[in-house]
Amino acid sequence: MSQIITAETGLSGTPDQVDPVTFEVLRSLFDYAAARMSSILQRSSFSQILADNVDFSNAIYDAELRLLAQAANCPVHLAAMHFSAKALAAKFDIERLEEGDILVVNDPYNGGTHINDLTFMMPIMHKGRRIAFAVSRGHWMDLGGGAAGGLAGSNHVAAEGLRVPPLKIFRAGKPNEDVFDILLANSRTPQFIRGDLQAHLGALRGAEREMQRAAERYGTDLLLAAMRQLIAYTERISRKGIEAIPDGVYEAEDWADTDGQTDDPVKVKVTIKVEGSDITVDFEGSDRAVVGAINSPVANTAAAVYYALQFFVGPDAPANAGMFAPIRIVLPDDCWLNAKWPMPVVNCTCITAGKVAAAVWQALAKAIPGQIIAPTFADANWFMATVTTNSGTTLFTDILSGGWGGTPFHDGMSVTMDPLGNCLNTPAESAELMHRIVYERFDLLQDSGGAGRNRGGLGSAFEVRFLGHGTLGIETSRTRSGSPGVNGGDTSPAQRMLRIGPKKSQVIGGLAADGSWKNPISGTHAFAPGEVFRFEATGGGGWGNPLERDPAAVLDDVLDEYVSREAANSQYGVVLSADGLRLDPQATAARRAELSRERRNPHA
């Protein structure tokens, strides 16, 4: 049996027409209201992960709970939020909601993704009439569980923290203090709870003010007509984008390195079927549910599909429910991409979503090779750590970025957050001010991009020194092999984690020098005072045959120390002069001919 996921807009016929100037003004206003939410949330939040890492998302939905506009926040949040909104609407009749009511949910099996992501929803009323909903989603630092941030490496969701079913946290503007008390009592960082909650409330109120002001100025009927027209407009653009993809069936696979409980890779199998202006994404053939915490709830899997396709279907279309309408998703019931209680899920957003998106991109590479980009490092590489000294224990976090894949037009971006996150790294200054740690390194990692006619962007080398006793939990993948290339491009190197002490270094995740492989999400790692955590993030995959790369571009990369002289020779067939400052054209031609024969007959 399989579960079919569709996202019909509910619009029929031709929506009411609003004149083009007013339509564009209101479209911009809806976008501004969502962006205003994000500005308020970041400026007023208390926790590091919201204020510094910007791990949150905000959106406006219309009166019928169709996505209307969203801020440029986390794609994996934004495409999943309508599942949370629908779950809240199923529990609470939206026709009975009052002004000032605020609902909340994080349940992975009822509209949520992983437990850390809480979604808040509030109806927006004007003169007693519901005109929209404001929805705000944020990753909270800690909601209990067996380890900081829920990164317990467990085989049961209970170890990942407090599961919140759909609840009414504000009633007619008055807070439900009992819910507040439960949240405060189930967190290692209670000092952030009330402040972050008030920040979400401020974001919702900010959207309410903007939308009410618009209704007052333009009238409710015109406002609602513009909403319908906007969603229909995006659907038309998205369908035209799908029509530009040749009809056919396209398949691909990608792999998570492990579920954290075994050493076995876990497969994503995707089959994309394009028929006219409709597209079906079928995950039949993907691995069954796993024991470890990479199982993906429906909302997370669907979100990864939506944002992966949106890059190519309608990247310039206004982001709303219209972009989901042409997409049909098929999920087998007993599958790690269709998590059911009590499957652990904490790593679903940072590992699994990236693998789903990478598989979709690799399938599309067979349909539109001239447009697709190579996969990114495909992980948010999120870690949580505690540091304990005589003055107490603090909890800090960071999100380690890597490289994006090469494109048909240029090299991939270096040290950029994976597209699923769109977050920011923690500023070293604020981290060192709040915690007994020292950020010692964060720089480009040479030779980390996949070779190609257009090279993958570079990853990063990150080091932090613990000044107290530390425990660190991390999720990551791409530690067996790196980011795949497309159209003949090469795979990037694998990621790796190390513990560096005064006398020795030890690989704690990924491939060691002796060829052994350490499970990268096997739980928490202990660090003694003075020891360094080092993470080597990979780059993106290469696009096109690296032997077709302009030798002058390879020389520039060597001079910039993006590519080593050895890699220039072995991967690109580019030979430099003795001083390494000039090309040797004759030796380069001979070396490229040799490598070209090897690529045509790799087993010779």
The whole-angstrom separation of Cα 19 and Cα 232 is 15
Write the DSSP symbol of residue 68: E
Residue 231 · residue 320 · CB < 8 Å = yes
Write the DSSP symbol of residue 576: B
> Above 90 in pLDDT, residue 491?
yes
Which token pair is 159? Answer: 């170890």
Residue 585 amino acid letter: P
Q: How confident is the model at residue 180 (pLDDT cuts 50, 70, 90)?
A: very high
- Tens digits of residue pLDDT in 455-476: 999 999 999 999 999 999 998 9
Q: Is 601 exposed, middle or buried (0-12, 13-18, 19+ CB in 10 A)?
A: exposed
User: Mean pLDDT, to the nearest integer, of 6-19?
Assistant: 75
Low-confidence winner among 68-82, 125-139, 176-190, 279-293 (lowest mean pLDDT): 68-82
Residue 67 · residue 104 · CB < 8 Å = no
The whole-angstrom separation of Cα 376 and Cα 415 is 10
The whole-angstrom separation of Cα 86 and Cα 471 is 38
Arithmetic mean of pLDDT over the chain: 94
Which token pair is 459? Answer: 């990853």
Q: How many CB atoms lie within 10 A of CB 528?
A: 12
> Above 80 in pLDDT, residue 260?
yes
Counting every residue, how long is the chain?
604
Residue 137 · residue 58 · CB < 8 Å = yes
What are the two backbone dihedrals, phi and then psi, of residue 410, each rounded to the nearest 5 degrees? -165, 175
Q: Is 526 exposed, middle or buried (0-12, 13-18, 19+ CB in 10 A)?
A: exposed
Task: State residue 25's pLDDT score.
Answer: 97
Q: Give Cα separations from 562 to 212, 380, 453, 579 (angstroms).
A: 52, 22, 15, 17
Task: State residue 15's pLDDT score.
Answer: 63
* Residue whose tokens read 């000032």: 100
Which token pair is 64? Answer: 């019928």
Residue 438 · residue 530 · CB < 8 Å = no
Residue 479 · residue 498 · CB < 8 Å = no
Residue 495 · residue 479 · CB < 8 Å = yes
Q: Is 276 exposed, middle or buried (0-12, 13-18, 19+ CB in 10 A)?
A: exposed
Tell me, rounded to whole angstroms, the distance of Cα 21 from its chain centroid: 35
**Bridge-partner residues for 331, per DSSP?**
3
Residue 536 · residue 376 · CB < 8 Å = no
Which token pair is 266? Answer: 């876990």
Task: State residue 111's pLDDT score.
Answer: 92
Closest residue by Cα to residue 387 from 501, 466, 463, 475: 466
SS3 391: coil
Which token pair is 558? Answer: 């060597």
Percent of the chain at pLDDT > 90 equals 89
Task: State residue 311's pLDDT score.
Answer: 86
Task: State residue 266's pLDDT score.
Answer: 97
Residue 471 · residue 386 · CB < 8 Å = yes
Q: How confident is the model at residue 108 (pLDDT cuts 50, 70, 90)?
A: very high
Write the DSSP symbol of residue 351: I
* Dihedral sign (CA 418, 423, 429, 433): negative
